Structure 1
């Protein structure tokens, strides 16, 4: 199932925050993405209703298996493209921003081909 880029970004952010901090709350996502509290609240409601996240009674957010699958895919792509762009001489900040855009638009086929070539050249694991 294809979901919107914004939902992919939210799921990826939840994964990144959870790896960094452990627990994730809406305010962490607000701070990470620099979005408004109401925007994040609406997004979390939509993600919860569509089965991508769980929110416990204390407001802690966890990814469901369905959400984790998408988040991990986006995060893997983000890391690969960031690393590639930095290896080309792009600053880390710009590489991260550009990777965030590219990770959503490439087909699985094109991504797999790029990843294969980079692996063969020893640029990624």
Structure 2
């Protein structure tokens, strides 16, 4: 059994926030704290704390009460997480036949723990399956 420490939980949570900001940016253009809170299902104070941490780590930029913007570093990380999530969702749904809701929920958890090597191979497998079918 693998036990996760606080650092792992913070990394996972931060990745979820970055992915949410990226998705909201694609949907609405401008991303506000309230939008992120609704998307993730947490309180605005929780999002505010997370955004301060992500800003101090160089992943986002946000003026006080302003829109949330991904930095180049944040956009790269958010795109990586988003790609992992979508690849896992497709694999679980299309290859394993898992229901869309279960695939979405499981992919959200799995995207944080799989190694880069496993994700590369899984991504290549999913791409090959798309070409064949």
With the length of structure 1 as denominator, give the TM-score of the two structures: 0.90
User: How many positions carry a matched residue from both structures?
Assistant: 123
Deviation string 1:79-109 (CA, Å, 9 cap, x unpaired) is 1111111112222121111110111100111
Of 76, 84, 88, the residue aligned with 1:81 is 88
Q: TM-score normalised to the size of structure 2?
A: 0.85
Distance 1:45 1:57 in 2: 10
Report if the CA contact (8 A) 1:23-1:61 is conserved. Answer: yes
The C-alpha deviation readout for 1:12-71, integer Å capped at 9, x for no partner, is 100011111111010001000011111111001111111110113551011001101110
Aligned match of 1:22: 29
> Where do 5+ consecutive residues of structure 1 fail to align?
none
**Structure 2 partner of 1:101:** 109
Q: Are residues 1:38 and 2:68 paired?
A: no
| 2:76 aligned with 1:69 | yes
Q: Distance in 2 between matches of 1:70 and 1:63?
A: 10
Aligned to 1:11, the other structure's residue is in SS state helix
SS in 1 for 2:69: strand
> Is 90-99 or 28-37 further displaced after alignment?
90-99
Contact kept, 8 Å, 1:84 with 1:123, in 2: the verdict is no
